[in-house]
Structure 1
Amino acid sequence: MKNLKVLCFTITLFIINFSFAQLSDLARIEYTILPAGESNIQYSRVRALFNYPIKLKKEGTYLFLGVDYSTVSLNMRETPSFGKEELNDFQLLDINIAYTTPLKNDWRLGVRFTPGFSSNLTANDLNLEDVILSGDVIFIKDKKESKDVKKPWRLVLGVSYSGNRGYPFPLPFISYYRKFHSKWSYNLGVPKTNLQYHASIKHRFKLYTELDGFTSNLQRGVLINNSTVAKSINMSLLLSGLQYEFHITNNIQFYARTSYVLSNSVNLRDKNKDDIVGLDSSNPLYLRTGIRFKI
């Protein structure tokens, strides 16, 4: 039963980075912080991504090329029994290569391949253990508002694979969006569930529950209790909170969110991806702000 719960949580966590959904963002930059509070750890992340759409000959068919780069900082106020200098700064980079084309009956196919790396880079160069391969295949049915569709909706079905996940097989993805009122809409599924209030064309508020986190290779490893070597670090967050969005134009959006951390764990893992030690991570508050340029 315990292993089943871990598997379910891992499924929801790692497909949060389901990058085909991110491809609606042509550019984005954001800053996230978890203040230390009474916890030993303060977490911050700066993230920037850019995607370039290339229109192909077939109508409605596009190739996307992009990059998604993050720097992550973990600051520990107390000194643990092992060397914390290996756990301060991390860099994550994904190269997005995606293809989308319309199908019959209002369906659309999306395929993404993402090579990248995630590492603390203490050795100042990369090795094969830093490399991560990910990919997705999804099918989208999108009914936008029109004379015949008064309540627009969108269904997404697919599978996702990530080398970060720790499981050598694809995992399912499902999401259902519906605007059921002129000022209200919702999204049900994994990795995101939310209820959105469209106050006006420019102002929106969103109540949401979702997961966040990161996994990174530890190049030189961290010796624990003079016996076991930690080879990676994993941070898993379950969040619930409020997001405010200001639509500067139809395509440019500023957003700010504050969240309560329902569940937070930071674990060092061995070469088999098994948790070997947990770090103090009782941060209750999660803050993020950013700006995005959307299709």
Structure 2
Amino acid sequence: MKWKILGLSAALYFLFSPVLSAQLVDLARVDFTILPSGASNFEFSRIRGNFNYPLKLKNEKGYLFLGLDYSNINFVYNQEELSFDSEVITEFQIIDLNIAYVVKLKNDWMLGARFSPGISSNLKLFDSSAEDIVFSGDLVFIKDMKDESKTNPYRLIVGISYSGNRGFPVPLPFLSYYRKFHPRWSYDLGIPKTNLQYHFSEKNRLKLYAQLDGFTANINGGTPVDQDIAQSINMSLILAGFQYECHFKDYFEFYLRTSYILSRDVQLRDSKKDDIFLIDDSNGGYISTGLRIKI
């Protein structure tokens, strides 16, 4: 029974923890994010939804997870004269099929692997081509000792992560060290997200956090930019801010994030993935809200 609970919880944690996902045990989630234009000439909004279904394998040795993750992204350019056709790159569709496997090892360790083929494009999903296919994946080792009956419960996850459509399309270390050091305080140090958490009660929490965010998408067919052809767009963000969480009805959670963008880099790229045109690099605000269903 302990392995069933810890294995399912830790597996879902790692499955939904890569860039843009939350560090919680999610079965389903929907959220809305907006980066207001502020002093810049660029505005970004995203609607995202995902779900994940666990399948128990024989002999209680592991879990297989199947899921979908979909995002609809919109740009608004508050500038009349641009060096490219803004109509071509105002809306993007991202969809991933998540296939993950978690198995119990010795000494309270677990091994987790995730493979996510997907599509990331400025075209509608059914109009996409082979150019729009991307791949993501993770390989991690998990040690979950979060049993509240233990003194100073903790969880450790170490591994490597790659995402072809989340703003940092290079292999990144996947690190997470969680510890509850006080009845009302806990922290989670790592990459892509770090936080310090205050527990007002069992149902209400406030986090101070920093994380990576962003997206990468193909521009199907390319679009002229000055003397070059833009084949893709990449937005990478480094955020810091606050997150409020309200838990209700056992399995539901509402959250609201308000953040400041420490670093923003929105670039058009050529076929070699080299930057050819900077769309925006300003700082500014970041607001996100959503609802989770978790175990």
Verify same fold: TM over 0.5.
Answer: yes
Structure 2 portions without partners, runs of 5+: 1-15
Between 1:272-281 and 1:158-167, the stretch displaced more is 158-167
Aligned amino acid, residue 37 of structure 2: A
Identify the residue that residue 260 of structure 1 maps to in structure 2.
Answer: 260
CA–CA separation in structure 1 for the residues paired with 2:152 and 2:280:
46
Q: Does 1:96 align with 2:98?
A: yes
TM-superposed CA distance for 1:16, in Å, is: 6.7
CA–CA separation in structure 2 for the residues paired with 1:44 and 1:20:
16
Identify the residue that residue 178 of structure 1 maps to in structure 2.
Answer: 179
| SS of alignment partner, residue 131 of structure 2 | helix
| SS of alignment partner, residue 59 of structure 2 | coil
Identify the residue that residue 246 of structure 1 maps to in structure 2.
Answer: 246
CA–CA separation in structure 1 for the residues paired with 2:292 and 2:198:
19
Between 1:230-239 and 1:274-283, the stretch displaced more is 274-283
Cα gap change, 1:32 to 1:164, in 2 (>3 Å): closer
Structure 1 portions without partners, runs of 5+: 1-14
Whether the 8 Å contact between 1:123 and 1:219 is mirrored in structure 2 is no
Identify the residue that residue 145 of structure 1 maps to in structure 2.
Answer: 147
Aligned amino acid, residue 163 of structure 1: G
Whether the 8 Å contact between 2:264 and 2:280 is mirrored in structure 1 is no
Identify the residue that residue 31 of structure 1 maps to in structure 2.
Answer: 32
Q: Does 1:49 align with 2:31?
A: no
| SS of alignment partner, residue 85 of structure 1 | helix
Cα gap change, 1:43 to 1:61, in 2 (>3 Å): same
Identify the residue that residue 271 of structure 2 maps to in structure 1.
Answer: 271
Whether the 8 Å contact between 1:258 and 1:286 is mirrored in structure 2 is yes
Residue correspondences, number:
279
Aligned amino acid, residue 78 of structure 1: Q
Between 1:82-91 and 1:278-287, the stretch displaced more is 278-287
Cα gap change, 1:63 to 1:132, in 2 (>3 Å): same
Aligned amino acid, residue 291 of structure 1: L
Whether the 8 Å contact between 1:122 and 1:220 is mirrored in structure 2 is no
Aligned amino acid, residue 123 of structure 2: L
TM-superposed CA distance for 1:168, in Å, is: 9.1
CA–CA separation in structure 2 for the residues paired with 1:233 and 1:252:
35
Identify the residue that residue 204 of structure 1 maps to in structure 2.
Answer: 205
CA–CA separation in structure 2 for the residues paired with 1:23 and 1:245:
11
Question: Sequence identity, in percent?
Answer: 56
CA–CA separation in structure 1 for the residues paired with 2:46 and 2:109:
36
Cα gap change, 1:255 to 1:87, in 2 (>3 Å): same
TM-superposed CA distance for 1:254, in Å, is: 0.5
TM-superposed CA distance for 1:81, in Å, is: 2.2
TM-superposed CA distance for 1:56, in Å, is: 1.3
TM-superposed CA distance for 1:93, in Å, is: 0.1
Offset from partner CA, 1:10-45 (integer Å, 9 cap, x none): xxxxx9736997783110000000111111111000
CA–CA separation in structure 1 for the residues paired with 2:167 and 2:78:
29
Q: Does 1:213 align with 2:214?
A: yes
Offset from partner CA, 1:247-274 (integer Å, 9 cap, x none): 0133211000100111111100011111
Query: Which of 112, 118, 129 in structure 2 is aligned with 1:116?
Result: 118
TM-superposed CA distance for 1:280, in Å, is: 2.9
Q: CA RMSD in A?
A: 2.3
CA–CA separation in structure 2 for the residues paired with 1:117 and 1:33:
22
